[in-house]
Structure 1
Amino acid sequence: MSSRTLVRTWDILPSRGYSTAWIALAEGRFTARGRAVGLIPEPYWVTYTLDTVDAYVTSRLHVTVESAASTRTLDLRNDAGRWTVDGEHRPDLDGALDCDLGLCPLTNTMPVLRHGLHREPGTEPHPFLMAWVAVPGLEVTATHQTYTHLARAEHGARIRYEAGDFRSDVEFDEDGLVLDYPELATVLTR
């Protein structure tokens, strides 16, 4: 199976920081490693590795956050729909296919690729249960999110992302990666 290596760097607006991901993209799966720096609520560094299996389903997310006060780690795993957080079973996450790392545009990619939302014209909303990870605190919660293809765009598509009362029309590129996520992130390198 051949793979392509992609690199993306985003300006992360809420944290006044930056995030870079190195992605090995293959048919139906990818692995990635990333680093981010943020200044709000305090200066911090994030490093992570993300592994997916068939149909871009998350299998593991390992995250480390470093600040002046502490270093925290998180080991989030999905084994055929059964999720663990640092080795402890989390039944509220069971059935989720994806993780969503806060302030990380890369983790919006899995549902988009799985359903071809960056290529399909006008499709119905796709609801998802996600294992959402707060940054910099690394708390994990189950969240319901919806992705809806709105229109083809010059370099991909505009897709509406919704979670609770939050809604944003996000532009994705032809690889299914975020180009512009209003009020969250803008790609700096392609």
Structure 2
Amino acid sequence: MSTASITRTWEILPARGYSTAWVDFAPDSLSARGRAVGLLPEPYWVSYELETTGGYVTTRLGVSVETATSTESLELRHDGEGRWTVNGAERPDLDGALDCDLGLCPLTNTMPVLRHALHRKPGPGPELFTMAWVSVPELTVSLNRQTYTHLARAEHGARIRYRSGDFQSDIEVDDRGMVLDYPSLATALTR
């Protein structure tokens, strides 16, 4: 994959909102910034910056959320050795996670897809991931286990089954591993 810059906007269904990401892809990493607006559970704005290192491993996610009554921010960092901090405080409960997963943000599905080339070919079976999951708009961080399984090649990429707990959805991604359609969560408006 060559170096490229992509802008993608999604309609975010559960929040009755929209999210836009500006992503710079390098051969083995990406950096991005994004903005989102949602109406549910109350109107809010989200701004974020995401950085990854080799293998698309998250190194930093900075997020701020503004509502009518407050502005909150979060700084999530991964040291490259498997340890995380949240706003400077060590979080051993997140140890072992390689990725962040920002709630209602389709962009953060990209890193595990790219790391295992799930958008290009079937793997040996389901790929299991441990994520540092960030809820929106609350900005709480918790450990979340997820499974991604390549189902089939599609016209513009692939279909991948996402599973976390009892939730499951068959996601369509493009040739860069970015979400095009995530039933019940998001639909890309720009490609």
Amino acid at match of 1:113: L
**1:59-138 map, 5 Å:** 59-80=59-80, 81-121=82-122, 123-138=124-139
**1:1-190 map, 5 Å:** 3-80=3-80, 81-121=82-122, 123-190=124-191
Aligned residues: 190
Find the residue that maps to 1:107 and give its secondary structure. helix
Amino acid at match of 2:25: L
- Report the CA distance between 1:3 and its aligned residue: 2.1
- TM-score by length of structure 2 reads 0.98
Amino acid at match of 1:99: C
Find the residue that maps to 1:15 and give its secondary structure. coil
Preserved CA contact (<8 Å) 1:123 1:149 = no
Preserved CA contact (<8 Å) 1:61 1:99 = yes
Matched residues in 2 for 1:110 and 1:24: separation?
13
- Report the CA distance between 1:40 and its aligned residue: 0.3
Instruction: Please give the root-mean-square deviation of Cα atoms over the aligned residues, in Å.
Output: 1.1
Gaps of 5+ in 2: none
Find the residue that maps to 1:189 and give its secondary structure. coil
Runs (4+) off by over 2 Å: none
- Report the CA distance between 1:13 and its aligned residue: 0.1
- Report the CA distance between 1:156 and its aligned residue: 0.3
Amino acid at match of 2:176: D
Gaps of 5+ in 1: none
- Report the CA distance between 1:30 and its aligned residue: 0.5
Find the residue that maps to 1:8 and give its secondary structure. strand
Amino acid at match of 1:9: T
Matched residues in 2 for 1:128 and 1:121: separation?
17
- Superposed CA deviations along residues 124-153 of structure 1, whole A, max 9, x for unmatched, are 000010000000000000010000000000
Preserved CA contact (<8 Å) 1:19 1:104 = yes
Matched residues in 2 for 1:154 and 1:3: separation?
23
Matched residues in 2 for 1:24 and 1:102: separation?
21
- Report the CA distance between 1:2 and its aligned residue: 6.0
Matched residues in 1 for 2:114 and 2:26: separation?
11
Amino acid at match of 2:59: S
